Structures are given as structure tokens and as C-alpha cells.
Amino acid sequence: MRRVKPFRLDRRAVLRGAGISLALPWLEAMVPSPAYAKSAAAAAGPRVLFLYFPTGYRKGDWAANKTAGTYPDFTLPAIAAALNPFKSKLTLITGLANKTATVGNGGDGIHARGTGCWLNCEVLNTTGFTTGISADQVIAKTSGTTSCIPSLALGVPGEQVATFAEDGYGAVYYNNISFTGPKANVQKENKPLDLYNRLISCSGFGTGGGSDGGTAPPPAVSQRTQFEKSAMAGVKVEASRLMTCVGQDDRLRLQQYFDSISELERRFTTPPVGDGGAPPTGGALCTKPAAPGANGTFQQNAQMMMDLLILAFKCGLTNVATMMLDGAFSRRDYGLTDIDNVNYVHGLSHGEIGGKTVDHPRWVKITVHYFNLIAYLLQQMDAVNEGNGTLLDNTIVYIGSEFGDGDAHSQSQHPVIIAGSGGGRLNVNRHIATPNDTPLANSLLSVMQVMGVQRTAFGDSSGTVPGLAI
């Protein structure tokens, strides 16, 4: 009897239609050998996301005084309670300090130094960094060479960016965390429609980022209807054929994937409903690049960017990303009761109540809101099955802020939360208490090495974080 050869797909396979290429999510048909688990891990590959929120944490709630060592159980503070469902996939690291961000003239440029140095761990002065290459960009030189987009830098629409120089340092440093040189930041993507078009039109998969590096001009907004009717229609014809060739589990994955594409399309063409149920004025979400986010709440826009990031990760369009939930001096309207662009996060972080050292409740509310959004991201990632685990399992999500104490502008006791294990490369479900003032750079170097970077030092590192990597 003739043996039927199993149907196999290349990991970089795309669907094509009317000149448009649509990347595919991970499928079992992409696993090249019977060694399923091992091959699946290689096929999915590790990704890394550095996720930043501004102005630090509440003081004293992060078990910072534990004796150095590894603890199999830990308790997250109340502000981060939204992450409790993912504790089995989290690692809490305490005792870290970013001493490079303290080098300067007292409080001059303290936010620029804190934010700019967060992924650099290199001394910053008013003339810039010495090298200025952030950890994500170091990783992108190794892990980004086989993806269409070597790295993504994401923001959230609606950020009202400050433009003052902060004691001569410059807005570039307190508004960005990803850098390729002393004064060269990676431009943040903060317009969801532009990002979506960039991902959909990402057609090359070659060394250095493919034929166009992921920078081909996106289709104009006015062409969206024609794009859906012609290009996507052609892609869907190929998709229907593919459905007949793969197994049942892959058919389910493909159906869920195309459903998510259709949902994103719908969200770009349908005016969103505000938190109160009334549709905002001004047209469809994100269709006016001059006023990004004007038609959606902070939560809606942040979740949109997170959904697009997940699309990029699960389809192999990029392996490296950064995301800023806000800038250091942003005057954003969060859509929360009693909080507006006058009561902004930086001002509230210094708003002690009645002269007492008690965090302002509105600062706490904003920080809780950040962690609720982070929980949304982790939940969505954990819902993506990649055969050997979920997208969250196969990713390293590095979560932190520019200060250990946002009120005191302290660079000591920097807590870092890492979600996911990069495909089983990191230990999880533990609290690693490092000796006080261990360089923050040690945690970045640990992540860099797990992501395949061949180096033994970064910034002011003194080594790696013991017990983090397997």
C-alpha cells in the first residue's frame, strides 16, 4: 500500500493574494520531524517584549528586604493583583538597582536618565550616551535577522507628549526606551492602523528583515475597502485550499487566526463604543493619524496595540518588541474617574496626602490600571496554542518602570516581573531576591543570553541573575 507523505509547510510560509502576503501562525504542519515537542519549540522560537510603564511603583510593597535567595512562593502587591492568575508563569526579581541612571547633577534630567537608561544601563548626560544601544536592539541584531521586522517599538495612541528639554537632556530620552545610538531612538509606532497595514504588507522574510525590512509604504486609508475586497479575498481563496490540506487542530488554529484578522478589520472600520456605552464622536477608531486615539479610550487603544503585537508575534513577523504604556511626562486622559490630563501620573506620584507619606489614591488607581492592561496582554498571549505551549510560554515579557520608588525618584529596589519562559529557557513561579543594589543590567544580560546573544557583559552588569535561566 502506498504511504501518503504528510503535508508540511515551511515556518515562513505565507498566503498570497493580489500582491499581498499574509503570514501564518504556528501550525503543526510546520513541524519538520516526528520529534514533535523539540521541533515545535524550535519552530515557534523565543520572543521578547520589554514592557514599560512610567513613574515607578508604590513604595515598600515588593518584598525588597528579603534575604538574597530564591523563594518558591511569593505574593504580588495589591496594585499588581491582576497578574495573580499567571503566577505559575511569573518570576519576580527584587533587589536590583540602575546606578547608571543616578550619575548626574542631582535631580537634573532625572526622568530622562531614568527612562532613557532603563534598557541601556549606561550613563546618560546632556550630550547623549556613549554607545546608546538598548538591550532590545542588541537582541534584534541576533534574533531579528530572520524576521520581516527586526524589532517593533510601540506606544499607545493619545499620549500627549511633553517637549521640554528637562535640564538640557532632551525629550527624546524621557519619551523613549529603545535606542540604536547615542541620540538615535527607534521611532515608536503609536497609530494602530499604520501598524496593522505594516504587518499585513510585510511580505519579505530575508536576512536583515526581508526584501523591504518591513518598511514598505502601507496602503492608504482610502484604499481599505478595495484592499478587503480584492487582496484579502485572494488570500482567503488560498486559505480555503490550505484548510483542506492540514489536520483538524491546524484547521482550528487557522480559523481562529482568520477570525482575529477579521475582528481587527472590523475594529478599524467600526466606531468604538466608549466605557459609558455611547459611541464617541469623530469617526472610526484610528482613522485620523493627526489625532491618534482621539476616538477611543486609553484602555481600548492599549488593547488594540497589544492585539497587533500578538499578531506580529504569533505569525513570526518579529521576535523583538518594546512597548511603552505611557511617557514619563505624558498628560494623558486615562478615562478613569477623578483623573484627567490635569491630574496626570507624574504629578500624582508626588501628591502626598496631608503631608503624610501616603501614595495618592489616584496614582495608585492609574498604576492598577496599567497592571490590568498587562493582565489582558498575558491572557491573550496565553490563549494562543503553539503546540509545545502557548505564545506566553514561548515569550519573555520583561515588565518594569524607570524608578524603584516613583515619588522619591529612587533607582534602588527596582522590582522586575518576567512573564513567560521563552520556550522553557527561564525558570518561573518563583521570587529571586538578589543582593541589594545588584545591577539592573544583570537581568537584561540574562534575557539577552537566553535570546541567543553571545556576550558576557552589558552596561554596568556584574554578571547574570542566578536561578533565572535554566
| Grid coordinates given for 331 | 498628560
Strands (DSSP E) found in 47-172: 47-52, 69-71, 90-97, 152-154
Rounded Cα distance, 341 and 303, in Å: 20
CB 318 within 8 A of CB 148: yes
Q: What's the alpha-carbon Rg for the chain, to the nearest Å?
A: 22
The H or E element containing residue 397 is strand 395-400
Kindly report the backbone phi and psi dihedral angles of residue 38, in degrees, each rounded to the nearest multiple of 5, phi listed first: -65, -45
The model scores a pTM over 0.85: no
Q: What is the mean pLDDT of residues 279-305?
A: 54
Answer positive or negative: Cα dihedral of 220, 202, 262, 276.
negative
pLDDT tens digit sequence for 23-63: 676 676 666 554 444 444 444 468 999 999 998 886 656 76
Is 50 exceeded by the pLDDT of residue 216? Answer: no
pLDDT interval class at 247 (50, 70, 90): confident
Give CA angle at 186 (180, 192), nearest 5°.
Answer: 160
**CATH class belonging to 14-450:** alpha beta
Alpha-helical segments (H) within 187-231: 192-200, 224-226
pLDDT interval class at 228 (50, 70, 90): very low
Domain ranges of the chain: 14-450
pLDDT interval class at 245 (50, 70, 90): confident
Kindly report the backbone phi and psi dihedral angles of residue 384, in degrees, each rounded to the nearest multiple of 5, phi listed first: -95, 110
Of all residues in the chain, what percent carry a pLDDT higher than 90?
42
Pairing of strands 90-97, 430-439: parallel
Rounded Cα distance, 230 and 364, in Å: 48
**pLDDT the model gives residue 323:** 98
Q: How far is CA 187 from CA 150, 153, 176, 178, 344, in A?
A: 13, 7, 8, 8, 24
Answer positive or negative: Cα dihedral of 423, 210, 207, 130.
negative
| Grid coordinates given for 308 | 497587533
Of all residues in the chain, what percent carry a pLDDT higher than 70?
69
**pLDDT the model gives residue 262:** 67
pLDDT interval class at 375 (50, 70, 90): very high
Q: What is the mean pLDDT of residues 315-328?
A: 92
Q: What is the mean pLDDT of residues 462-470?
A: 97
CB 214 within 8 A of CB 202: yes
**pLDDT the model gives residue 10:** 64
Give CA angle at 45 (19, 191), nearest 5°.
Answer: 50
